[in-house]
Structure 1
Amino acid sequence: MRARLIVFPIRGRNWCFSRSIDQSVLDSQYSQTPSTFKQLWIKISSSEKATDSNAELLIDFVANKMNRAWTGLEKAPPGSFKNKIHGLGLRLLAGVRPSEIFLKSISKEVTNVEITYPSSLNARLVRRRLRHIAFRGTVIHKKYFYGSVSMLPLTSAFAVLPLPNIPFFWVLFRTYSHWRALKGSEKLLQLVSDTSESKTPNENSEKADHNSLGVQWVLQPSEELEKQLHCGDDDDGLSKDTISDICKTYDLNTIDVLKYRNSV
């Protein structure tokens, strides 16, 4: 499966790294995840895959349940207890780094990436920055993953209270999130490494077949993205309107991209 990555400077030394949203792929992945314990058991018992694959299936099943519960909170009536929990969750999620969200989007199904970037940027610099964020992710998210796992037994003790165990579910979500970001970091680092096959603008004509077998990353400079950056560039970085236009053009999540602008 191919993933389209959009890379561009957003404010000073802050660069945005984001993946274009492909709703059909999301729907396909969602439909393949078991929705009940019975379906999960049947799929695991009938699978001839390694234990690691079954563990990932179990993790996806739990994540699916958490997403359904979150959707239920989102639809709760205003002012209700569930609605207040949803508001608390939004405030907590606002603190999640955008780089973590980006790395989580690089799933194991991704076999190659198309990297779109402003034409004025050096292609080697773009790939170097991608390798850096991937390598840094393997270090940071491994550390935070083990840290979150160690917090699970402590937060599970709050289950004795007559209230929803929000600390436990938050730590459980952070454990899953760091694990996904770690796997995404490893996958991205593998795809954009020096040993992987690639195509660059200098090696092939613009009409080259980018779907050729064996190509793991393609660098694609964009004149359109370059123009959008110049239209909205100022002393404080790209304006919100410009970021919104770029997100519409390349199917990006505006809220996640804005986090790059405000990050330190």
Structure 2
Amino acid sequence: MRARLLVFPIKGRNWCFMRSVDRSNAQSQSSQSPTTFKQLWEKVSSSSHKSTAANLEICIDFAANKMNKAWAGLEKAPQGSFKNKIHSLGLKLLSRVKPSEIFLKSIPKQLNGVEVVFPSSLNPRLVRRRLRHIALKGTIVHKNYFYGSVTLLPVTSAFAVLPLPNVPFFWILFRTYSHWRALKGSEKLLELVSDSSKNQNSHEKDHVNEAAENDSKKETHPPLVMQASEELERLIGDGNDVSKCTLKEISKVFDLNTTDVLKYHQQQN
């Protein structure tokens, strides 16, 4: 499983890191995930050859799917209803999630390689260093936040005695899951970037045509392929101050989530 990552400067030291949307893979993963407790039990009990960590991951994915369905139900609630107000509150809270966390969460453990697309004017080594920096920082930051969120779960669960939805508990539960996913994504990205350092010079020589050459030769893909893009260079210009309109156009051309990309622009203000 491989992914395409886009890396480009927005303003000064503020860079955008995003993964292109992989709709086919998302659909296949959702079809394989258990949807009921019975299916979850059958999948966990029949996978005796799997480790405890693998079974835990299945349970976490199951809980995440349940949360996503509950969130979709709130989104469809009538305007002005109590559920609609909870959904509006959730949107305000989600808007505070940093775009770097969203990026790291998009890196799954099944990934065995990435193609990094960047403006042709940038040095590939600089782009790789920035990727390694965000991955290394993510392993530290999200590990600390993960343990912090876990310690708050028992505290927020006490609000269950109130005759209202326990919003604090479910928010902390979501943040715990989110930081755990970002931590795992950081570790996987750091692994892929570090593994490629030995053969980096050979990868950077023909980074423009390397993917096509590997396909024609039927060789094993390297874990990291650097792909300079003239089109991305044209869109961002000098990269000193990329506008929202430009970010929307980049999202459309390279199949990115526009909302997540625009968060990088909001972050610099």
**Aligned match of 2:227:** 220
Task: Tell me how far 1:160 sits from its aligned partner.
Answer: 0.5
Number of positions where the alignment pairs a residue of Structure 1 with one of Structure 2: 261
Residues 136 and 39 of structure 1: is their aligned pair in 2 closer, same or farther, counting only changes over 3 Å? same
Residue of 247, 251, 258 corresponding to 2:255: 251
Question: What is the CA–CA distance in structure 2 between the aligned matches of 1:250 and 1:229, rounded to whole Å?
Answer: 13
Task: Tell me how far 1:259 sits from its aligned partner.
Answer: 1.2
Residues 205 and 36 of structure 1: is their aligned pair in 2 closer, same or farther, counting only changes over 3 Å? closer
Task: Tell me how far 1:212 sits from its aligned partner.
Answer: 3.2
Question: What is the CA–CA distance in structure 2 between the aligned matches of 1:220 and 1:122, rounded to whole Å?
Answer: 11
**Aligned match of 1:133:** 134
Question: What is the CA–CA distance in structure 2 between the aligned matches of 1:195 and 1:67, rounded to whole Å?
Answer: 35
Q: Which amino acid aligns with 2:11?
A: R
Structure 1 residue matching 2:213: 3-state secondary structure: coil
Identity of aligned residues (%): 64
**Aligned match of 1:162:** 163
Q: Where do 1:74-85 residues align within 5 Å?
A: 74-85=75-86
Task: Tell me how far 1:200 sits from its aligned partner.
Answer: 2.3
Q: Which amino acid aligns with 1:262?
A: Q
TM-score (norm 2): 0.93
**Aligned match of 2:143:** 142
Residues 194 and 25 of structure 1: is their aligned pair in 2 closer, same or farther, counting only changes over 3 Å? closer
Question: What is the CA–CA distance in structure 2 between the aligned matches of 1:97 and 1:90, rounded to whole Å?
Answer: 13
Q: Is 1:209 the counterpart of 2:214 in the alignment?
A: yes
TM-score (norm 1): 0.95
Structure 1 residue matching 2:163: 3-state secondary structure: coil
CA-based RMSD of the aligned residues comes to: 1.6
Question: What is the CA–CA distance in structure 1 between the aligned matches of 2:219 and 2:163, rounded to whole Å?
Answer: 58
The ranges of structure 1 where at least 4 consecutive aligned residues each deviate by more than 4 angstroms after the TM superposition are: 194-199
Question: What is the CA–CA distance in structure 1 between the aligned matches of 2:112 and 2:27, rounded to whole Å?
Answer: 18
Question: What is the CA–CA distance in structure 2 between the aligned matches of 1:193 and 1:145, rounded to whole Å?
Answer: 24
Question: What is the CA–CA distance in structure 1 between the aligned matches of 2:40 and 2:94, rounded to whole Å?
Answer: 28
Q: Which amino acid aligns with 2:187?
A: E
Gaps of 5+ in 1: none
**Aligned match of 1:190:** 191
Q: 1:129-173, CA deviations, whole angstroms, 9 ceiling, x for partnerless residues?
A: 000000000000000000000000000000000000000000000
Question: What is the CA–CA distance in structure 2 between the aligned matches of 1:170 and 1:30, rounded to whole Å?
Answer: 23
Q: Which moved more, 1:250-259 or 1:128-137?
A: 250-259
